[in-house]
Chain A
Amino acid sequence: MVIKKPSDIKSSEITDKKVYLARRTFMRGALLTATTVTTGYLYRYLNPPTLPRIEGAKIADVVKPAPEQAASSGFTVNEKLTPFESITNYNNFYEFTTDKRDVARVSRGFVSRPWSVAVEGLVNKPKVFDIDDLLKLAPQEERIYRFRCVEGWSMVIPWVGFPLSKLLEAVEPNSSARYVAFETLYDPKRFPEQNGGSLDWPYVEGLRMDEAMHPLAILATGLYGEALPPQDGAPIRLIVPWKYGFKSIKSIVKISLVRDQPKTTWNIQAPSEYGFYSNVNPNVDHPRWSQATETRVGEYSRRDTLLFNGYAEQVGQLYSDMDLRVNF
Chain B
Amino acid sequence: MKEIKFYKVVVFINSLVPLSLIAWDWYRKQLGVNPVEFLTRTTGMLTLIFLLVSLAVTPLRKISGVQWIIQFRRMLGLYAFFYGFLHFMTYIWFDRQFHLRSTVQDVYARPFIAIGMLSFFLMIPLAITSTKGWIKRLGGKRWALLHKLAYVSAIGGVVHFWMLVKSDTRLPIKFAFALALLLGSRFVIQNMKKKPPPRTIIPTT
Q: How many whole Å from B21's CB to the nearest CB in chain A?
A: 5
Contact check, A44 vs B21: say whether CB atoms are below 8 A apart.
yes
Interface of B is mostly: helix
The 5 closest A-B pairs by CB, nearest first: A90-B33, A98-B168, A198-B168, A39-B17, A198-B167
CB contacts (< 8 Å) of B111 on chain A: these are: 288
Counting CB contacts under 8 A, is A12 at the interface?
no
Counting CB contacts under 8 A, is B34 at the interface?
yes
Among A35, A44, A94, A288, the residue within 8 A (CB) of B10 is: A35
> A: which residues have CB within 8 A of B?
28, 31-32, 35-36, 39-40, 43-44, 47, 49-50, 85-86, 89-90, 94, 98, 101, 151, 153, 197-199, 269-270, 285, 288-290, 295, 297-302
Q: How many whole Å from A261's CB to the nearest CB in chain B?
A: 22
Shortest Cβ distance from B169 into A: residue: A198
CB contacts (< 8 Å) of B168 on chain A: these are: 94, 98, 197-198
- Whole-angstrom distance between the alpha carbons of A270 and B6 in the complex? 52
Contact check, B17 vs A89: say whether CB atoms are below 8 A apart.
no
Counting CB contacts under 8 A, is B35 at the interface?
yes
Among B17, B32, B36, B94, the residue within 8 A (CB) of A43 is: B17
In the complex, chain B residues 1-50 whose Cβ is within 8 Å of any chain A Cβ: 6, 9-10, 13-14, 17-18, 21, 30, 32-38, 42
Contact check, B9 vs A32: say whether CB atoms are below 8 A apart.
yes
CB contacts (< 8 Å) of B17 on chain A: these are: 36, 39-40, 43
Do A199 and B167 form a contact, CB below 8 Å, given A35-B14, A36-B17, A289-B110?
yes
Interface of A is mostly: loop
Shortest Cβ distance from A265 into B: residue: B167
Among B14, B35, B164, B170, the residue within 8 A (CB) of A298 is: B35
Q: How many whole Å from A283's CB to the nearest CB in chain B?
A: 13
Among A198, A199, A285, A298, the residue within 8 A (CB) of B34 is: A298
Shortest Cβ distance from B18 into A: residue: A43
Contact check, B36 vs A300: say whether CB atoms are below 8 A apart.
yes
Counting CB contacts under 8 A, is B112 at the interface?
yes
Contact check, A153 vs B34: say whether CB atoms are below 8 A apart.
yes
Counting CB contacts under 8 A, is B192 at the interface?
no
Given pairs A288-B110, A300-B94, 10 additional interface contacts (CB within 8 A) = A28-B6, A32-B13, A39-B17, A39-B18, A40-B17, A101-B32, A101-B33, A290-B110, A295-B34, A297-B34
CB contacts (< 8 Å) of A199 on chain B: these are: 167
- Whole-angstrom distance between the alpha carbons of A137 and B170 in the complex? 43
Some 19 contacts from A to B, beta carbons below 8 A apart, are A28-B6, A35-B10, A35-B14, A36-B14, A36-B17, A39-B17, A43-B18, A47-B42, A89-B32, A94-B167, A94-B168, A101-B32, A285-B109, A288-B112, A290-B109, A297-B34, A300-B35, A301-B97, A302-B95
